């Protein structure tokens, strides 16, 4: 919550606030139900090729008070009252062959941190069955119980990966920013997935443990597992995930697992704190010796309301020597309610990260909180307008730096951000 001192701060965003309010009011008047589907490009001999496109533009009016709280070497500047981020985009293709398998690959046409570069994101095959004329049709006795996913893809850790914004693929996220801790990594690897009709599922998998290939001495595989259950009678869904990557102290190269230590696609907010690839996002360790688990739960009693939450722990030994060991507990809850069915909704989220050990000190147990409140409206078919107010603060740290900001100086940022996204 905001203190009286924060409430007394002079308002700096009068015009942007008016513009945001007018835009949101218009979106309520124009809102129509959403219907977003990938485009079917061709269908022949049992094959279907689909294409999906995502584009995003953002207007923000954010302010931070970290100008005198940066670590040495990080210059701080005042933010403008409001400004436009550059546009970002994703492009993806999905190939289906009857009920046997699907192939997916996508690229980021531009991201907030790499506006002029095209990045490969995912590329994998999901094998469900083998055609009867294949070399091993008898293997379908196994595929009756499992699917196999292989390639370079997002690690299935936690349920937030299915709700978070991934560059311009944002319409799964009811708000604009992700939770303050939002595990996300792509690795080359394989997952074996079991699902049954009763709503129970399980996954085991292994991966490269790094974002790109690395054959440095000491590089090892990562391991992951997940179980989940859906109970429609309540209706509740729950999941538990585990991840382990230990490259050892001898590992040298481009860094370890990206699950917590970076956000390659960039965050939603720009300019605040150090203005890095994900400003304000809690990055944990170097990923060379990481162990993490996460619990998720969701309640969706009807089509108009949803409540989801997560609780996790990440323990990073900082084996590369780039910093000291870290242990964090992180958690969050998000609520979403439709005010007009399938057209206009309101949403709120609270997420936080509690340091159990930071900068190698178990007594350095501060916390970073993020509050988000806003909503969205479908202005056109496939076109979603979202508006969000965000407030984030750090408190209770004795020493240490994250994203170029001295956490013991209690940095914070707040303000409004609007997002137009188009997906098909």
**First-to-last CA distance in the chain?**
38
| pLDDT value of position 243 | 98
With 60 as the cut, is the pLDDT of residue 22 above it? no
pLDDT higher at 15 or 95: 95
Query: How confident is residue 8, by pLDDT bands cut at 50, 70 and 90?
Result: very low
Q: Give the least confident one: 68-72, 250-254, 287-291, 384-388.
A: 68-72
**Res 4: pLDDT:** 40
Q: What is the structure's pLDDT at 20?
A: 43
pTM above 0.85, yes or no: yes
State yes or no: pLDDT of 16 exceeds 50. Answer: no
- Mean pLDDT over the full length of the chain: 85
Of the chain, the percentage scoring pLDDT greater than 90 comes to 57
Q: Is the pLDDT confidence value at 3 over 80?
A: no
Distance CA 349, CA 358 (A): 25
Could you give the CA distance from residue 172 to residue 228 in angstroms, rounded to a whole number?
20
pLDDT band at 90; cut points 50, 70, 90: very high
pLDDT band at 19 (very low <50, low <70, confident <90, very high): very low
pLDDT digits (tens, 9 = 90+) for 404-419: 788 888 888 999 999 9
291 HSE (CA, 13 A, CB side):
5
Mean pLDDT to the nearest integer, 47-56: 95
Going by C-beta distance under 8 Å and a sequence separation of 6 or more, which residues neighbour residue 271? 60, 62, 64, 79, 83, 279
In this prediction, residue 28 carries a pLDDT of 41
CA dist., res. 237 & res. 98, Å (int): 29
pLDDT for res 77: 60
pLDDT value at residue 7:
36
Cα–Cα distance, 23 to 27 (Å, whole number): 6
Q: Above 80 in pLDDT, residue 371?
A: yes
How do residues 154-176 score in pLDDT, each as one tens digit? 999 999 999 999 999 999 999 99
Strands 222-231 and 236-246: antiparallel
Range with the lowest mean pLDDT among 89-103, 109-123, 312-326? Answer: 312-326
51 confidence band (pLDDT: 50, 70, 90) = very high
DSSP state of 138: G
Helix (H) or strand (E) holding 142: helix 140-143
CATH number of 4-423: 2.40.160.10
Whether residue 390 has pLDDT greater than 80: yes
- Domain boundaries along the sequence of the chain: 4-423
Kindly report which listed range (109-118, 199-208, 237-246) carries the lowest average pLDDT score: 109-118
Task: Determine the pLDDT at residue 182.
Answer: 94
Q: How confident is the model at residue 18 (pLDDT cuts 50, 70, 90)?
A: very low
CA 130 to chain centre: 33
Max avg pLDDT among 38-47, 178-187, 393-402: 178-187
Does 5 score more than 60 pLDDT? Answer: no
Instruction: Give Cα separations from 30 to 18, 84, 373 (angstroms).
Output: 18, 23, 22
Radius of gyration of the chain (CA): 22
What's the confidence (pLDDT) of residue 30? 45
Q: Identify the pLDDT of residue 321.
A: 57
Kindly tell me if the per-residue pLDDT of 97 is higher than 90.
yes
């Amino acid at each position: 919550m905001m203190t009286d001192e924060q409430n007394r701060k002079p308002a700096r965003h009068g015009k942007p606030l008016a513009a945001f309010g007018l835009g949101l009011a218009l979106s309520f008047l124009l809102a129509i139900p959403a219907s977003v589907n990938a485009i079917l490009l061709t269908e022949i001999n049992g094959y279907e090729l689909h294409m999906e496109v995502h584009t995003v533009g953002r207007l923000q009016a954010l302010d931070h008070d970290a100008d005198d709280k940066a670590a040495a070497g990080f210059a701080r500047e005042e933010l403008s009252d409001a400004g436009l981020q550059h546009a970002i985009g994703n492009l993806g293709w999905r190939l289906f062959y009857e009920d046997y398998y699907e192939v997916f690959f996508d690229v980021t046409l531009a991201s907030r941190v790499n506006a002029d570069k095209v990045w490969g994101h995912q590329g994998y095959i999901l094998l469900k069955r083998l055609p009867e004329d294949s070399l091993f049709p008898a293997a379908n006795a196994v595929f009756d119980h499992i699917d196999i996913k292989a390639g370079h893809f997002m690690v299935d850790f936690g349920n937030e990966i299915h709700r978070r914004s991934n560059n311009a693929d944002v319409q799964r996220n009811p708000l604009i920013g992700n939770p303050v801790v939002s595990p996300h990594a792509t690795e080359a690897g394989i997952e074996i997935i079991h699902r049954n009709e009763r709503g129970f599922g399980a996954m085991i998998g292994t991966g490269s443990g790094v974002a790109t290939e690395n054959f440095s001495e000491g590089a090892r595989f990562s391991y992951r597992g997940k179980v989940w259950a859906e109970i429609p009678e309540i209706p509740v869904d729950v999941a538990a995930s585990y991840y382990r990557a230990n490259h050892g102290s001898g590992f040298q190269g481009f860094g370890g697992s990206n699950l917590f230590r970076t956000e390659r696609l960039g965050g939603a907010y720009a300019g605040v704190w150090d203005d890095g690839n994900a400003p304000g996002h809690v990055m944990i360790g170097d990923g060379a010796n990481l162990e993490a688990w996460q619990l998720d739960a969701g309640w969706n009693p009807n089509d108009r309301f949803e409540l989801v939450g997560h609780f996790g722990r990440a323990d990073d030994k900082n084996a590369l020597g780039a910093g000291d060991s870290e242990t964090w507990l992180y958690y969050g809850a998000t609520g979403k309610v439709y005010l007009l069915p399938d057209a206009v909704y309101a949403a709120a989220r609270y997420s936080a990260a509690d340091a159990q050990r930071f900068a190698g000190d178990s007594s350095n147990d501060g916390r970073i909180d993020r509050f988000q409140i806003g909503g969205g409206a479908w202005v056109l078919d496939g076109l979603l307008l979202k508006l969000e107010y965000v407030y984030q603060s750090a408190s209770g740290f004795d020493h240490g730096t994250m994203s170029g900001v001295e956490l013991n100086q209690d940095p914070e940022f707040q303000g409004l951000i609007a997002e137009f996204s188009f997906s098909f």
